[in-house]
Structure 1
């Protein structure tokens, strides 16, 4: 029974490691992707908080579009930032407070 338990644990660990991470974009409190690091969130068009953040990096490769909003519900558009991915840091200097953002998994800012 003990062997079966160890075997199932090993299989579970391999399956977990084989699942690709959905951690696509990370926001930071500093202007150069430094300071406090936010949560790793998917770049799937969903709305995420950006309050207290000043920069971001898209961890996965490929061109992405990140859209920023003044409110916390992704309604009041401020600016869009193309990002090449591969952990390229982008400073978000919009001249106004940014409350939320959406990341498109491609270079289209409409997603």
Structure 2
């Protein structure tokens, strides 16, 4: 009985540790070109759509990520794919407006057309 309780607790702890490792990739957008200035929310790189209004640079953390910039405010319109690496500050200069972005910690995400 004691062994079963210990094993169950150990399994639960390992599951929590693995879950927290998988959810560490995040991204933050900034108001200036060099990842300074007004700071946006820290969001997960989970393929969800986020506004880029009033932002000029972006900094992911947690590993290699694919960032997709869109002209529309709801991740619609023309798109540009960019790879990023842990803690790399990226000045967003696409030659046109950027209204929103998606981030995903899967390099294959940048391969789709």
- Range of TM-score over shorter length: 0.7 to 0.9
Greater than 4 Å deviation, 4+ residue runs = none
Secondary structure of the 2:58 match is: strand
Q: Are residues 1:68 and 2:55 paired?
A: no
**1:54-78 CA-partner distances (Å, limit 9, x unpaired):** 11111112x2110000111101123
- For residues 22 and 73 of structure 1, the distance between their equivalents in structure 2, rounded to whole angstroms, comes to 24
Look up the match of 1:33.
Answer: 35
- Do structure 1's residue 106 and structure 2's residue 98 form an aligned pair? no
Across the aligned residues of Structure 1 and Structure 2, the Cα RMSD in angstroms comes to 1.8
Conserved 8 A contact 2:49-2:74 = yes
Q: SS state of the match for residue 98, structure 2?
A: coil
Other-structure match for 2:80: 79
Aligned to 2:61: 59
8 Å Cα contact 2:45-2:105 kept in structure 1: yes
Partner SS state of residue 85, structure 2? strand
Q: More helix by proportion, 1 or 2? A: 2
C-alpha change, 1:67 and 1:51, in structure 2 (3 Å) is same
SS of residue matched to 1:46: strand
Residue segments in structure 1 that go unaligned for 5+ positions in a row: 1-17
Q: Counterpart of 2:95?
A: 95
Equivalence for 1:42: 44
